[in-house]
Structure formats: structure tokens, C-alpha cells
Chain A
Amino acid sequence: MSLDKDQVQHIAMLARLKLADGEFAQTVEKLSRIVDFVDQLGQAKTDGVVPMAHPLHATQRLRPDQVVEVDDRDHIQQNAPLTENGLYLVPKVIE
């Protein structure tokens, strides 16, 4: 297998994903198969080919830095799991 358990553990941590114990073995196996599959790209001759980031080669459009949206905080925060006085609450970060 192209990936081992430690590598997958590392990738999961980078992606901030906790895998359940039962999920782990099959994740290693299936991710390895995907990596093996995309490895065939290595055979393509791409010397001097410019990487393509946008299908129409367009560049990112910029807009003037002006306030255009109305303040809709209360409405938006109705989706938040935990808020107080308009702030999002998370577990204590600084001891």
C-alpha cells in the first residue's frame, strides 16, 4: 500500500478530521488506492507546460474596497451553535 497508518494519521490531523476507530483501516486502504490511481499522472510528458488554474485563463476580478452589505449579524448568527453578545463562543484557548 502506498500510504501507511502514520501517514494517514498525519493527513487526518492536517485536515482536522477525527476518524472513528472503525473507519481507520478502510481509510488507509481506499486512500492508498486513490493515490495509486492518480500516480499514473507521473507518466505524462509535461516539460514546459504552464499549469492551468482557470479553465478560461481569466484572472481574478477585483472590486473597490467599499462597504456594500448591510449589517445582518443577528440573522446570520441564528445558524451559529453557540454565541454570546454577538460573539462566537469556543472552548478556552488561553489558560
Chain B
Amino acid sequence: MSQDLHTQTLTQLSAGLDRGDFSSVELTEALLGRIETHGQSLNAFVTVTAEQALAAAKRADEARAAGNAGVLSGLPLAHKDIFCTRDILTTCGSRMLEDFISPYDATVVRRLADAGAVVLGKTNMDEFAMGSSNETSYFGPVRNPWDLQCSPGGSSGGSAAAVAARLTPAATGTDTGGSIRQPAALTGTVGLKPTYGRVSRYGMIAFASSLDQAGVITRSSADAALLLGVMAGFDERDSTSIEHPVPDYCASLSGSLKGLRVGIVRQHFDEGLDDKCAAVVKESLQVLESQGAILSEVDLPNLDLSVPTYYVVAPAECSSNLSRFDGVRFGHRAADPEDLLDLYCRSRGEGFGEEVKRRIMTGTYVLSAGYYDAYYLKAQQVRHLIADDFHKAFAEVDVIAGPTSPTPAFRLGDKIDDPITMYLNDIYTIGANLAGLPGISTPCGFVDDLPVGLHLVGPHWGEETILRCAHNYEQASAWHEACPEEYR
């Protein structure tokens, strides 16, 4: 019996724990065993917290026996290594924070722990979440369980690979331009990015503050709904957290798709999208139609400008956020500095990797005297146009559906030397970040034995609608149940 615990979703495991089929300690031991077996070849984890996990599992079992079980009591998950965890290493995939032990928990970490979740470890990621392939991590690239020569996507690549390989039923992630949804698509998992302000950013190491949002990578939309219900809600410690009621996301799954207006973006199927991916995604749209959804075409005329807009706004915010790493209060410090300036420049030069330095410098440039208006102000204006395009579309439809990523997983090394090609990976996902919209990617088939994702975007606070749409699709298609052979 305990041999197949890794195959179950959070929802199934929760029912099993309730019935007493197994204990959380047994479940945690089983998954720690799988991480031991597969973790290294995938490089999905930076830190495994076996001791703390078993202690938390024991507490969860005791709480359950005493009738005090929380919503997630005894359910295992992993955290992207961008979330601060008290007394546990938090590296953000960087040499800069190689030895950083956070003095506090992120709100996301605290809320999940308070609900009884058991943390198995911290997952690998692109350095400071800057990357779309997990190759910028100081701790080396993560490998895709569907093909070890391929990237799992990024930046939440460790979370996605760990869920895809059944090392954990769920993991947290963060999404600034697609960093939850793209790796979910490339690994055949479900990735949910909520509305900006829905989940607290407190204790989530900042990359681009007006775009960053925490979410989850899971095996099903039902599991994503379960976790979002715990993570969402106002937090006075995050000044951008928004006071908005938290609905019962699990209850929102049950409705049908009858009459749901689904918009297909004309520009999504233009050049740039792999032909085979286009065919798979179109097939999934027909499934939605057969379930009662009404398909129509919508326009996002400024879609092409979303990637250049993002690569001004995000680096500008990153250059400001990452100025806190100065080699004085925490993080890497260069040896034998000559003076204070040398201490700053060498600590940062040594502590940050290539891509992070490039983005800091891009941001510094677009914010510098003489260039601010031409780049930063201009990008903020175009951002407004892009957001308006979405709002116009949502006057006509309830959900926008299309591909998550232009291609299936690409080979490690294929795109890392060309920043522009790498950046264009996020063309279908970036718009939701610029406009602050919720988005979800769910598996919708395969191209050359590699998974493809269906991307659903909703209006602000439309999580219930996209979760219901994805859940209905999963019930009809079952692509989300596919598992790479070696990890069954």
C-alpha cells in the first residue's frame, strides 16, 4: 500500500489520512525516500528538510488523533527556495545567499504550516527567479523528468520537476512573467498564478514588485484550489496585499462549463507557435466547446509589445530591489575589501550570476538620467495599453484560452546563450503579469513525447472561473494524470 502513496494527489492523500489508511509519518517517509532516490539526478532540491518534515508529520498525526486536524494536516509539500523559512537555508538559487538562514517565515510558509502542511524541502530555481530554463541557478540546472536532457522551464523549475516526478504532490512557486505556468506546461503539471495582491509577498524574496505573485504547482486544479484557499488573503505585512474576500475555491470547481464564454486570441496562433503545439492546444479548445463552453475570437493587439515592455519594467524593479545586497548586513561579502566601494562592487560582482547582473544593468540603464522617459516611462504607458486590451477582451469573454508556451521543453544549453530567444518563451504568459490577472496552465497533450500546457487567463479575482474551467477540462481529458515512466 505505502508503495503507491507518491502517485496520489493532495485531495486523495487527505482522504486517505482521514480514513486512517496511512499516517503522515508513513507518507512523509515514503516521499523522503523518493527524494533520496531521484532528487540528485533531477537536481530539483537545494535543501531537503527530512528531520523537520518528520517532526511536523508526527505533530500532524497527533493533532489528527486528538481531533484537531487542520485543512492540510500531514500533507507534504515543498517550497521554492525564494520563500524565507525560519532557521532553514533560503538561497534564492544564488551564491549571494548561499549561507542565508532567514530569521523569519514568509507569510505563505506560515499559513501553510499553520494549516498543518509538512515541508519536505526547498526547491531549486533560476537565480533570483530570473530565467525561463532553471539554468541560471548557482546550484546547477534542474532536469526535466520527461527527458533528462531537457530543461523543466523556469524559474520555478525545481518545484515543477519535483511534482512531475512524484517526489512531492505539490510545491509553491512564484510567477513574475510566467515562472509558475511555463515550467508547469513543460513538465505536465498544473501551475496557478493568482491575481496580483491575492497572496502575500511578505518573505518572498523580491524580483519585480509590481509583477511578482506567489502560487502553486500541483497535479490537479482541485489541489491548486485547496492550497490557494489557505495561501490567499490580506496580510498587513505586505503593503501591496489587497483586502478582498477569499471564496471557497474547492466549491467553485463543481459547476459545469455550460455557457462559459472562452476567448481565443487571434495573435496567439500567429508565427512563433510550434505547429504541433498549436494542433494540440486547438484540440483542447474543442474539448471545452464539447463541454458547453462558447468559443469566440478576441484581439490582444499589443501582444507583441508585452515582452519588450516586461524587459524594461521587470529589470528596472529588479535593479532597485537587488540594491539591498551590499555585502554588509547579509549575503556574500568579498574578501579583503580595499574600501567601501570595493566592498560593494566586488561583493555584488561575485555574488550575482551573469543573468542577474545583466538584468540589474538593463534596469539601471533604463532608469538612468537621459533614458528614463524613453524606456521606463514609455514601458509603463505601453503596459497600460496591454492591460486595457485585456479589459476590453474580458467585456466579451469570461476566460482567455491558448498555449502556455510556444514550444515543448527545449534541450538544456539550447537557449542560454541568447537572452532574446529565452525571453520570447514567455510571450503568452507575460501579459497576465503586466495586467495583474490570474492564470493557470494545465496539461493538454504531448508533442514528441513532451507535455504541452493549456493556458487559461481570467479577469481580476477570476480564480474561481479559471479553476472551474481547468478542473472540467481535466475531468474530460485526464492528461494531468500522465506520469513519466521512470517515476510511476
Contacts and interface: CB of A to CB of B under 8 A. Distances in A.
Contacts of A75: 103
B242 A63 contact: no
Given A61-B239, A79-B103, A34 B311 contact: yes
B420 A37 contact: yes
Interface in A1-44: 3, 8, 11-20, 23, 27, 30-31, 33-35, 37-42, 44
A11 B349 contact: no
B365 interface: yes
A53 interface: yes
A80 B210 contact: no
Give the dominant DSSP class at A's interface: loop
Contact of A27 (B326, B358, B436): B358
A40 to B, nearest CB: 5
Contacts of B308: 37-41
Contact of B378 (A31, A41, A78, A92): A41
Interface stretch (B67-75, B109-117, B280-288, B381-389): B381-389
A46 B381 contact: yes
B236 A63 contact: yes
Contacts of B302: 44
A93 B197 CA distance: 41
A51 B377 contact: yes
Contacts of B103: 72, 75-76, 78-79
Given A31-B361, A34-B420, A61-B239, A49 B328 contact: no
B328 A11 contact: no
Give the dominant DSSP class at B's interface: helix
Interface string B384-399: 1101000000000000
Interface residues on B, range: 35 or more
A34 B327 contact: no
Counting from the closest, the 10 A-B pairs by CB-CB distance are: A55-B436, A51-B380, A18-B349, A81-B333, A46-B381, A79-B330, A18-B345, A52-B384, A49-B381, A16-B344
Interface of A: 3, 8, 11-20, 23, 27, 30-31, 33-35, 37-42, 44, 46, 49-56, 58, 60-61, 63, 72, 75-76, 78-82, 88, 90-93
Interface of B: 99-101, 103, 195-197, 210-211, 236, 239-240, 242, 302, 305, 308-309, 311-312, 319, 323, 326-331, 333, 337-346, 348-350, 352, 354, 357-358, 360-362, 364-366, 368, 374-375, 377-385, 387, 419-420, 423, 433-437, 460
15 contacts: A23-B354, A31-B362, A34-B362, A34-B420, A41-B309, A49-B381, A54-B436, A55-B196, A55-B211, A56-B196, A75-B103, A76-B103, A79-B101, A81-B328, A88-B329
